[in-house]
């Protein structure tokens, strides 16, 4: 009796199939990863705009309670601890604000751009934009929730 030769076939993936799957995954990664990388920076920019709006609201509450905005010497710390201002009802913020890149927000009162109010801005990603062109309360209405900063 002769038995036909039967070979047991491995049911795993061949090298070609594995290579094809790896190529497909690499193509997907090349398309998806660049789109996801830009989201982190976009989120930081949105946070900076939101922070400026929130700080602006806190500054406006400080002004309503005390009759004036904090001086340059008092700075934004006046929103956290009482600088000795009459009528202070804070704290208006929980802590001194830092921008998403780890730099302090710049506050000037009276402002150069808002002469009857204050200038509030972030130096941006590089930390070097001292002109305030990155994120500020005078050129970007959506970053400034109140219009009183330019003259209340």
Within-domain flag for 6: no
Within-domain flag for 32: yes
Within-domain flag for 86: yes
| CA–CA distance, 39 with 94 (Å, rounded to integer) | 27
Within-domain flag for 2: no
The CATH code of the domain that includes 128 is 3.30.700.10
Mean pLDDT value across residues 1-19: 70
Peptide bond into 146 cis (omega under 30): no
Q: For residue 146, what are the domain limits?
A: 25-150
| CA–CA distance, 95 with 101 (Å, rounded to integer) | 16
Q: What is the pLDDT of residue 64?
A: 94
Within-domain flag for 10: no
Question: What is the percentage of the chain residues whose pLDDT exceeds 90?
Answer: 36
Q: What is the pLDDT of residue 39?
A: 76
Q: Give pLDDT tens digits for 59-74.
A: 999 999 999 999 999 9
SS3 136: strand
Query: What's this model's pTM, rounded to 2 decimal places?
Result: 0.67
Number of structural domains, the chain? 1
pLDDT band at 140 (very low <50, low <70, confident <90, very high): low
Within-domain flag for 14: no
């Amino acid at each position: 009796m002769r038995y036909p030769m039967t070979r047991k076939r491995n049911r795993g993936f061949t090298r070609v199939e594995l290579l094809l799957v790896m190529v497909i995954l690499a193509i997907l990664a090349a398309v998806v990863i660049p789109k996801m990388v830009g989201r982190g920076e976009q989120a930081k920019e949105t946070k900076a705009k939101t922070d400026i709006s929130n700080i602006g609201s806190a500054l406006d509450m400080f002004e309503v309670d005390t009759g004036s905005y904090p001086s340059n010497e008092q700075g934004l710390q006046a929103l956290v601890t009482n600088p000795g201002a009459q009528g202070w009802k804070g704290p208006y913020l929980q802590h001194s604000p830092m921008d998403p890149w780890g730099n302090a927000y710049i506050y000037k009162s009276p402002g150069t751009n808002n002469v009857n109010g204050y200038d509030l801005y972030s130096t941006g990603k590089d930390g070097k934009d001292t002109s305030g062109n990155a994120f500020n309360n005078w050129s970007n209405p959506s970053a400034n929730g109140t219009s009183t900063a330019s003259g209340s």
